[in-house]
């Protein structure tokens, strides 16, 4: 019999800072200010959001122009997540989508909320819903999610109510 320690469990963490570099700085700063800042390639004019570290993957040149793009866009593809996994923070089912924001040439990945998952479709118009301003940080998570645009004057809840009535 021995009193030697055979095993110890000790969580560790590493705190570090890093420089975003000129390629991502405007994009990340924009997210702290409620703006979506993309990078435009001077050669092919493609507008990248996110700006992919400031390099055009087609031409291999720096994205020299910062462009503010729209807060709304169109779903180009999506999936409905039904599988629970460790660390999941959102109640299933939920939708993860590729969204082509107005003025951008590259779709961005984000969550779709604010409507039943079976109403999400390719071509659906959605807009950004930001977290409270006090929670804005240099991350795309400053946007809580995207949700469907509603027709002015009717409102989203009216539309959902009408659909529920039709089903009855
Ligand atoms: Zn290019």
Whether the Cβ atoms of residue 94 and residue 81 lie closer than 8 Å to each other: yes
Q: Averaged over 102-117, what is the pLDDT?
A: 96
Domain assignment of residue 99, yes or no: yes
Domain assignment of residue 13, yes or no: no
Domain assignment of residue 12, yes or no: no
Q: How far is the CA of 50 from the centre of ligand 1 (A)?
A: 14
Domain assignment of residue 100, yes or no: yes
Q: How far is the CA of 63 from the centre of ligand 1 (A)?
A: 8
- Each residue of 24-83: pLDDT tens digit? 899 999 999 999 999 999 999 999 999 978 899 999 999 989 999 999 999 999 999 999
Q: How many structural domains is the chain composed of?
A: 1
Q: How far is the CA of 125 from the centre of ligand 1 (A)?
A: 27
Model pTM score: 0.78
Query: What does the alpha-carbon distance between residue 70 and residue 105 come to, in Å, rounded to a whole number?
Result: 12
Q: How far is the CA of 70 from the centre of ligand 1 (A)?
A: 21
**pLDDT for res 21:** 84
Q: How far is the CA of 40 from the centre of ligand 1 (A)?
A: 8
**pLDDT for res 157:** 40
Domain assignment of residue 64, yes or no: yes
Domain assignment of residue 11, yes or no: no
Query: What does the alpha-carbon distance between residue 95 and residue 45 come to, in Å, rounded to a whole number?
Result: 31
Q: Which residues of 45-84 are buried (b: 16+ CB within 10 A; e: fewer)?
A: ebbbbbbebbbbeeeeebbeebbebebebbbeebeebeee
Domain assignment of residue 17, yes or no: no
Domain assignment of residue 5, yes or no: no
- DSSP for 24-81? HHHHHHHHTTT--EEEE-TTT--EESS-GGGB-TTT--B--EEEE--SEEEEEEEEEE
Beta bridge partners of residue 109, listed in sequence order: 98
Whether the Cβ atoms of residue 39 and residue 26 lie closer than 8 Å to each other: yes
Q: How far is the CA of 135 from the centre of ligand 1 (A)?
A: 34
Question: Which residue range is the domain that position 46 belongs to?
Answer: 22-152
């Amino acid at each position: 019999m021995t009193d030697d320690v055979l095993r110890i469990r000790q969580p560790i963490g590493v705190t570090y800072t890093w420089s975003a570099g000129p390629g991502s700085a405007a994009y990340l700063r924009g997210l702290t200010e409620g703006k979506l800042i993309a990078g435009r390639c001077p050669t092919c004019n493609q507008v990248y959001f996110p700006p992919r570290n400031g390099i055009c993957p087609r031409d291999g040149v720096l994205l020299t122009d910062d462009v503010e793009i729209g807060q709304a866009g169109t779903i180009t593809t999506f999936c409905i997540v039904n599988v629970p996994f460790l660390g999941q923070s959102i109640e299933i089912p939920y939708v993860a989508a590729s969204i082509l924001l107005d003025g951008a040439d590259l779709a961005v990945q984000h969550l779709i909320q604010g409507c039943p998952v079976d109403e999400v479709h390719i071509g659906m118009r959605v807009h950004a819903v930001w977290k409270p301003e006090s929670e804005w940080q240099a991350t795309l998570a400053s946007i809580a999610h995207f949700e469907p645009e509603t027709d002015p004057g009717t409102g989203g809840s009216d539309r959902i109510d009408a659909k529920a009535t039709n089903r009855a």
